[in-house]
Amino acid sequence: MLKTTDFPPQQALIGGDWVNSATTLEVEAPATGEPLTRIARCQPDHVDAAVKAAQQSFSGQSGEWASWSARQRSEWLLRFADTIEGHQEQLAQLECADTGKPMAQAKGDIAACARYFRFYGGAADKLHGETIPFETDFAVMTLREPYGVCAQIIPWNYPSQIFGRCVAAALAAGNTIVLKPAEDACLSVLRLAELAVDHGLPAGALNVVPGLGSEAGAALASHPDIDHLSFTGSPETGTHVAQAAAQHHVPVTLELGGKSPQLVFADADLDAALPAVIKGIIQNAGQTCSAGSRLLVQREIADSVVANLCERFAALRCDAGEADADCGPLINARQKAKLEERLAAAKADGIRVAAMGQLAPNAPTGGHFVLPQLLTDIPKGHEVLHEELFGPVLVVQVFEDEAEALALANATDFGLCAGIWTRDGGRQLRLAKGIRSGQVFVNNYGAAGGVELPFGGVGRSGHGREKGFEGLRSYTRIKTVAIKHN
Ligand code: NAP
Ligand code: MG
């Protein structure tokens, strides 16, 4: 059980100090609909002060962060990974209460956050430029430099993991940060920020401005003094923030979700594939950008696969995060209403709910639960096949052959991930090359999160890459130095 002292400050972190806002926002527990605590509601003046603090830390006279060598940054990040692990229980409880996700997943998310700090801690002093052979009287080198002040706007579905992914990489590369967490879930992020400052991160290297997207978020994306913007969330908000950043020619990384397919061929190892198909859609109650939300199955095994999945769906249980069931609630009443409206429209269009999970007997009554479900008999081109539903809803399509499977897989504007289940090596490679997406998994889905593996989208899923060394490089830019000598 969370105690009052477990909650982070109801303030913004600016220049190493916790700063009050004139008003605060209530934080609700999605599993019960009950209030949990409050958070600061930052306004443009907080964002401005946070950007100034980040600038000071990066380049000002008091810029302690700027004076740290790559080795010092590396050592701090590695130590901070240990700190996170030392607080795993409390951080997981915060994330579980705040998002409603099952406790086991929340613990895994905190472990992944620590892994980001360890990975980027290890990488911080191994990133370097090149020398280029040019004319004989020249020495030419490239310097890989941090951008400066990185604005990071993150969502509510994986607050601690996305904190790790963005913050560890940007700090490792030597940047400073102003982070706007999501109003709906930011308690673990605020606690992580508090731990970072308490464990010696120089003032201003990381600033956190909680509040509304339309207030703090919009002020940050349009701030003239940010040097880079990384955004994770919906395509619509992604367009807004990219337009705002473009006013000041600020480079952006956009991670905007997906409608990722899982392709199951008749020769697949179904004992491995089917549990992964289920996990790919119910993890985080389907509120995952990389959710495997479309199942494409080959005709000759379609009936038996659907029958098998129906049994698995019927066995799924929804409950509060603490109960550690298969599925937690959705994040808020708005997301639940939006999804239920789409499901009602789908039913009215003749789409069949082939199977559904259940609410656990003692699940709280006020929670935003939507039962996991499997949809079949879907008319060609129906919106459930190409729109992100962001809930535990799997849509099924049947294909005849590899060519049709590829065409269906690519019949979306999104392109984040894809899973291919087949024993045929040639087909694995042909499809891996043919599918339009940022990640392709063969005979697995998600590679257990893989902090080391570059991640990002194509088309409506966004652009730029996070995670792995690519993520670290994306927080740097190249300067070319050409020296003429005798
Ligand atoms: P969202 O609007 O894209 O929110 C993402 C982040 O952007 C939050 O921190 C949000 O702040 C902030 N934001 C909102 N409006 C902004 C603006 N005008 N300027 C700057 N920042 C702004 O997503 P949502 O409304 O929470 O969820 C809606 C849909 O987005 C979901 O149904 C899902 O399809 C998609 N989504 C995708 C991901 C993903 O991982 N790709 C994650 C979350 C949601 P506040 O929320 O605090 O207002
Ligand atoms: Mg929101």
Residue nearest to atom 22 of ligand 1 (CA): 213
Task: Say yes or no: do domains 4-256+464-481 and 261-450 share a fold.
Answer: no
Query: Which amino acid belongs to residue 417?
Result: C
Q: How confident is the model at residue 64 (pLDDT cuts 50, 70, 90)?
A: confident
Does ligand 1 come within 6 angstroms of the Cβ of 182?
yes
Q: Alpha-carbon distance 261 to 293, whole Å?
A: 6
Kindly write down the DSSP assignment for every residue of 27-52, as one continuous string.
Answer: EE-TTT--EEEEEE---HHHHHHHHH
Taking only the tens place, the pLDDT of each residue in 441-462 is: 999 999 988 999 999 999 999 9
Q: What residues are annotated to the active site?
A: 255, 289
The two tokens of residue 441 are 């998994």
Asked if 229 and 241 count as a contact pair (C-beta separation under 8 A), the reply is yes
Q: Alpha-carbon distance 482 to 132, whole Å?
A: 9
How many C-beta atoms lie closer than 10 Å to residue 316's C-beta?
Answer: 20
Kindly give the distance from the C-alpha atom of residue 425 to the centroid of ligand 2, in angstroms, as a whole number. 43
**Cβ partners under 8 Å of residue 366, min gap 6:** 32, 33, 34
Kindly give the distance from the C-alpha atom of residue 473 to the centroid of ligand 2, in angstroms, as a whole number. 29
Taking only the tens place, the pLDDT of each residue in 305-332 is: 999 999 999 999 999 999 999 999 999 9
Kindly give the distance from the C-alpha atom of residue 129 to the centroid of ligand 2, in angstroms, as a whole number. 39
Kindly write down the DSSP assignment for every residue of 262-315, as one continuous string.
Answer: EEE-TTS-HHHHHHHHHHHHHGGGG--TT---EEEEEHHHHHHHHHHHHHHHHT
Query: Which amino acid belongs to residue 86?
Result: G
Does ligand 1 come within 6 angstroms of the Cβ of 20?
no
Q: What pLDDT score does 216 carry?
A: 98
Does ligand 1 come within 6 angstroms of the Cβ of 457?
no
- What is the atom index within ligand 1 of the atom nearest the CA of 288? 40
Does ligand 1 come within 6 angstroms of the Cβ of 240?
yes
391-425 in b/e form (b: 16+ CB < 10 A) is bbbbbbbbbeebeebbebbbbbebbbbbbbbbeee
Does ligand 1 come within 6 angstroms of the Cβ of 257?
yes
Taking only the tens place, the pLDDT of each residue in 219-235 is: 999 999 999 999 999 99
Taking only the tens place, the pLDDT of each residue in 332-353 is: 999 999 999 999 999 999 999 9
Does ligand 1 come within 6 angstroms of the Cβ of 369?
no
How many C-beta atoms lie closer than 10 Å to residue 43's C-beta?
Answer: 18
Query: Which residues sit opposite 229 in a β-bridge?
Result: 151, 252
Long-range contacts at 194-200 (CB < 8 A, ≥ 24 apart) = 194/8, 194/9, 194/13, 195/80, 195/83, 195/84, 195/87, 196/80, 197/13, 197/16, 199/79, 199/80, 199/83, 200/76
Is pTM, for the whole model, over 0.85? yes
Query: Which amino acid belongs to residue 316?
Result: L
Kindly write down the DSSP assignment for every residue of 439-467, as one continuous string.
Answer: EEEESSSSGGG-TTS-B--SGGGEES-BS
Does ligand 1 come within 6 angstroms of the Cβ of 289?
yes
Question: What are the angstrom distances between the C-alpha of 127 and each of 25, 121, 123, 144, 171?
Answer: 41, 11, 7, 8, 13
Does ligand 1 come within 6 angstroms of the Cβ of 207?
no
Alpha-carbon Rg for the chain, nearest whole angstrom, is: 23
Query: Which residues sit opposite 253 in a β-bridge?
Result: 230
Q: What pLDDT score does 62 carry?
A: 67
Q: Alpha-carbon distance 293 to 385, whole Å?
A: 9
What dotted CATH number matches 261-450? 3.40.309.10
Taking only the tens place, the pLDDT of each residue in 14-62 is: 999 999 999 999 999 999 999 999 999 999 999 999 999 999 999 876 6
Question: Is residue 398 over pLDDT 70?
Answer: yes
Residue owning tokens 């879907």: 378
Q: What pLDDT score does 224 carry?
A: 98
Domain ranges within the chain, ordered by starting residue: 4-256+464-481, 261-450
Query: Which amino acid belongs to residue 27?
Result: V
Tell me what percent of the residues of the chain surpass a pLDDT of 90. 97
Half-sphere exposure of 361 (CA within 13 A, CB side): 0
Question: Is residue 217 over pLDDT 80?
Answer: yes
Question: Is residue 78 over pLDDT 70?
Answer: yes
Q: Alpha-carbon distance 296 to 293, whole Å?
A: 10
How many C-beta atoms lie closer than 10 Å to residue 35's C-beta?
Answer: 10
Angle between helices 88-99 and 103-123 (to 10 degrees): 120
Kindly give the distance from the C-alpha atom of residue 29 to the centroid of ligand 1, in angstroms, as a whole number. 18
The two tokens of residue 405 are 């499977």
Q: What pLDDT score does 283 carry?
A: 98
Kindly give the distance from the C-alpha atom of residue 214 to the centroid of ligand 2, in angstroms, as a whole number. 10
212 three-state secondary structure:
coil
Query: Which residues sit opposite 254 in a β-bridge?
Result: 231, 463
Does ligand 1 come within 6 angstroms of the Cβ of 239?
no
Strands of the sheet containing 138-146, edge to edge, are 131-132, 138-146, 476-484
Q: Which CATH number fits domain 4-256+464-481: 3.40.50.300, 3.40.605.10, 3.40.630.70, 3.40.50.620?
A: 3.40.605.10
Q: What pLDDT score does 56 carry?
A: 95
Residue nearest to atom 37 of ligand 1 (CA): 233
Q: What pLDDT score does 266 carry?
A: 98
- Pocket mutation for ligand 1, best pick of 237, 283, 330 (most atoms within 8 Å of C-beta): 237
Shortest-distance ligand to the CA of residue 338? 1
Tell me what percent of the residues of the chain surpass a pLDDT of 70. 99
Residue nearest to atom 45 of ligand 1 (CA): 213
415 three-state secondary structure:
coil
Taking only the tens place, the pLDDT of each residue in 252-298 is: 999 999 999 999 999 999 999 999 999 999 999 999 999 999 999 99
Question: What are the angstrom distances between the C-alpha of 65 and each of 171, 203, 390, 403?
Answer: 9, 8, 38, 53
Q: Which of 405, 402, 444, 399 is nearest to 427 (CA)?
A: 402
- What is the atom index within ligand 1 of the atom nearest the CA of 210? 47
- Pocket mutation for ligand 1, best pick of 186, 234, 386, 467 (most atoms within 8 Å of C-beta): 234
Residue nearest to atom 15 of ligand 1 (CA): 213
Q: Alpha-carbon distance 417 to 257, whole Å?
A: 10
Total residue count of the chain as it appears in this document: 486
Q: What pLDDT score does 448 carry?
A: 86
Kindly give the distance from the C-alpha atom of residue 115 to the centroid of ligand 2, in angstroms, as a whole number. 26
Kindly give the distance from the C-alpha atom of residue 200 to the centroid of ligand 1, in angstroms, as a whole number. 31
Does ligand 1 come within 6 angstroms of the Cβ of 466?
no
